[in-house]
Amino acid sequence: MALDPSYFPAVAPIMVSAVLIGTVGWVVTTWLRIKNGYPLESSWGKPLLPAVSSEAMERVKLLTQENARLSAEIGSVKDRLQVLERIATDPAKRLSAEIDDLGKALN
């Protein structure tokens, strides 16, 4: 029961297509897992978790603090922007009246 060599030209494209489809499917699956935050797995199904070091934890802590500081700064910038928008869109007569009232309040 030997293989007839005449079958090879007919079977080769099917085999190549199957290998390519499997490889593309694996790449797409891995990309989707990474994109959606799922853990990657080794060939035996065990998750590939990054090693957690004290340096990494310290970096996360510093980044969290910086994130909080920048969020507060963005909040103050938004408040200033609202004031500037109000000044830019209010009528000039009302704005001059408010400035005069402030000047009287300071004196």
Asked if residue 47 lies in contact with residue 39, where contact means CB atoms within 8 angstroms, the answer is yes
Asked if residue 25 lies in contact with residue 17, where contact means CB atoms within 8 angstroms, the answer is no
- Do 26 and 65 belong together in one domain? no
Domain assignment present for residue 81? The answer is yes
- Do 71 and 99 belong together in one domain? yes
104: number of CA atoms within 13 Å, CB side? 6
The DSSP H or E segment spanning 87 is helix 54-89
Domain assignment present for residue 46? The answer is no
What is the full per-residue pLDDT of the chain (107 aa) written as tens digits?
567 778 888 888 999 999 999 999 999 998 998 888 777 777 777 777 766 778 888 998 999 999 999 999 999 999 999 988 887 887 778 878 888 888 888 77
- Do 68 and 22 belong together in one domain? no
18-39: b (≥16 Cβ within 10 Å) or e: eeeeeeeeeeeeeeeeeeeeee
| Structural domain boundaries enclosing 26 | 10-40
- Do 61 and 107 belong together in one domain? yes
Give me the number of domains the chain comprises.
Answer: 2
Is-above-0.75 flag for pTM? Answer: no
- Do 26 and 74 belong together in one domain? no
- Do 63 and 99 belong together in one domain? yes
